[in-house]
Amino acid sequence: MAVDLLLGLQWGDEGKGKIVDVLTKNYDVIARFQGGPNAGHTLEFDGIKHVLHTIPSGIFHDNAINLVGNGVVIDPVIFKKELDNLAKFDLDYKSKLLISRKAHLILPTHRLLDAASEASKGKAKIGSTLKGIGPTYMDKTGRNGIRVGDLEMDNWEEKYRALANKHQAMIDFYKAEIEFDLAEMEAQFFEAIEVLKELTFIDSEEYLFQAQKEGKSILAEGAQGSLLDIDFGTYPYVTSSNTTAAGACTGLGVAPSRIKEVFGIFKAYTTRVGSGPFPTELFDSYGETMGRVGREFGATTGRPRRCGWLDLVALKYAVQVNGVTQLMMMKGDVLSGFDKLKICTAYKYKGEDIAHLPYNIERENVQPVYTELKGWKEDLTTMRDPSEFPQELNDYIDFLEKELEVPIKIVSVGPDRTQTIHR
Ligand code: IMP
């Protein structure tokens, strides 16, 4: 059986957690393939809101196995907190949560290095979530990292100490003014490691290979968004992993030829949290309304998200890089009551209109060129069928489908599972 992918097409926070939760009933295995606790996947059902950071969003269903793949970086302390939250809901997670031995561990000193590096950058800071993501992936590619499988070996604490000592020298080098109590952080870390060790560690590529042979259905769950991809995003204002489709192959050990559907998720407008270019960003009442009605605050850091019109140039780029086969439009309900809706269909770049993403999309380099559509007044949150959609919403959807040349299969009209309309 083939593997399907689910990816965010913008700067993250598109609503991947909600859609994975909705789709899980169709899959035997849900597998996270990159990123770490910088992600915040929000799910709402039965009047309760759950936020997951590392654990795949299929965990609330009985039928699915949830796998944390080799491409993910795990902070045991945050992982333990996630498990504690699940335990509050009497969820038997142990029987359906598997962890790749090849996933890398985020050490306390990785978090400190993240903070020291950001503090040293001044105005050029990335706006990192400070979860230690960058330094952990640096140690992975630098071939110094500690992996989950190392915890099964006798000498892992020696390896830990050598790496933590090296990190301390690097932290000193930054001369950054950051306050921390490493002894306390390490105590929490080692306590959490013991909890992690109670879970099942596996050779996940072999597990997924066998699952495919047995005809099981697999959904690979992405984190962050395509424009935060380390290669294809707005570098250096990106995260440190491949958030695009190719990342699922390396982050799980799934061959490209096995991938079937690529579900691309986008918001009906655009948001970004942290620093970096954002051509359609709004600083007026429209942007303020999107932020307020859409409750646009980071699920991991609580930071307000920057808001703007839908950027079709960037979205088309993401559709192409990922080979998206089906689109899902989130938060259409937030735009109810807008008198007009603007969609960026080109950039003014060096005096010309261009329809592709150039190397540099900083404000001084590109200015958005907009097409204007009429807004709708109706409240979408109570709608459950596309036949109820106002004409203006159908026009908005038709315009996007024509431009992107990919069907929009799901329109989400609220955070709850039930507010998901299939077309
Ligand atoms: P880092 O991955 O925590 O180092 O953050 C790098 C950049 O990616 C920052 O601008 C973050 O705000 C952004 N970022 C990281 N994870 C997420 C996410 O899950 N949603 C949205 N933005 C994210």
pLDDT (0 to 100) of residue 299: 81
Sign of the CA dihedral with 346 first, then 351, 356, and 360 last: negative
pLDDT at residue 300 greater than cutoff 90: no
What is the overall mean pLDDT for the chain?
96
- DSSP run (H or E) holding 119: helix 108-121
Structure tokens, 414: 């609220």
Assess whether 172 carries a catalytic annotation. Answer: no
| Residue 391 vs residues 204, 376, 386, 395: alpha-carbon distances, Å | 47, 8, 11, 6
Q: Which tens digits make up the pLDDT trace of 37-95?
A: 999 988 888 889 899 999 999 999 988 999 999 999 999 999 999 999 999 888 889 99
Nearest 5°: CA angle at 242, between 209 and 248?
Answer: 20
Predicted confidence band at 176 (pLDDT cuts at 50, 70, 90)?
confident
Q: What percent of the chain has pLDDT over 70?
A: 100
Q: What's the gap in Å between 183 CA and the centre of ligand 1?
A: 27
Q: State the average pLDDT over residues 190-214.
A: 97
By alpha-carbon position, which residue is closest to atom 9 of ligand 1?
A: 128
DSSP letters for 129-190 = --SSHHHHHHHHHTT---BGGGGGSTTHHHHHHHHHHHHHHHHHHHT------HHHHHHHHH
Assess whether 13 carries a catalytic annotation: yes
User: Which residues face 308 on adjacent strands?
Assistant: 270, 281
pLDDT (mean) for 138-156: 97
Q: What is the pLDDT of residues 102-124, one digit of tens each?
A: 999 999 999 999 999 999 988 88
Atom of ligand 1 nearest to the CA of 301: 12
**Taking Cα atoms as reference points, which of 31, 51, 35, 53 lies closest to residue 43?**
51
Measured from CB, residues less than 6 Å from any atom of ligand 1 are: 11-13, 38-40, 126-129, 131, 133-134, 223-224, 228, 237, 239, 273-274
pLDDT at residue 298, as a whole number: 87
Mean of pLDDT values over 243-258: 97
Q: Which of 94-98, 176-180, 253-257, 345-349 has the lowest mean pLDDT?
A: 176-180
Does the pLDDT of residue 239 top 80, yes or no? yes
Percent over 90 (pLDDT), the chain: 90
pLDDT at site 44: 87
Confidence of residue 314 (pLDDT cuts 50, 70, 90): very high
- Nearest CA among 423, 219, 208, 222 for reference residue 322: 222
Closest-CA residue, ligand 1 atom 12, reads 274
Retrieve residue 417's tokens: 């599972």
Q: What is the pLDDT, as a whole number, of residue 123?
A: 86
Cis peptide, bond prior to residue 390, ω within 30 of zero: no
Centroid of ligand 1 to alpha carbon of 11 (angstroms): 8
Instruction: State in Å: Cα 102 to ligand 1 middle.
Output: 23
Does residue 366 surpass a pLDDT of 80?
yes
**Which of 273, 297, 303 most suits a substitution to test ligand 1, by most atoms within 8 Å of the C-beta?**
273
User: Residue holding tokens 């559509």?
Assistant: 373
Atom of ligand 1 nearest to the CA of 275: 10
Question: 126 CA to middle of ligand 1, Å?
Answer: 9
pTM of the model: 0.96
Which pLDDT belongs to residue 122?
87
Copy the structure tokens of residue 91: 């969820």
Q: Residue 212 C-alpha to ligand 1 middle, in angstroms?
A: 32
Q: What is the pLDDT of residues 208-230, one digit of tens each?
A: 999 999 999 999 999 999 999 99
What CA–CA distance (Å, rounded) separates 267 from 245? 19
- Residue whose CA lies nearest to ligand 1 atom number 4: 128
From the list 4, 21, 28, 41, the catalytic residue is: 41
Q: Whose CA is nearest to atom 5 of ligand 1?
A: 128
Find the mean pLDDT for residues 373-386.
97
Instruction: Single out the catalytic residue among 13, 21, 75, 139.
Output: 13
Cα separation, 295 vs 357, in Å, equals: 29
Which range among 27-36, 86-95, 126-135, 363-372 shows the weakest confidence by mean pLDDT? 86-95
pLDDT at 199 over 90: yes
pLDDT (average), residues 218-243: 97
**What is the distance in A from the centroid of ligand 1 to the CA of 213?**
35
Both structure tokens of 333: 């309900």
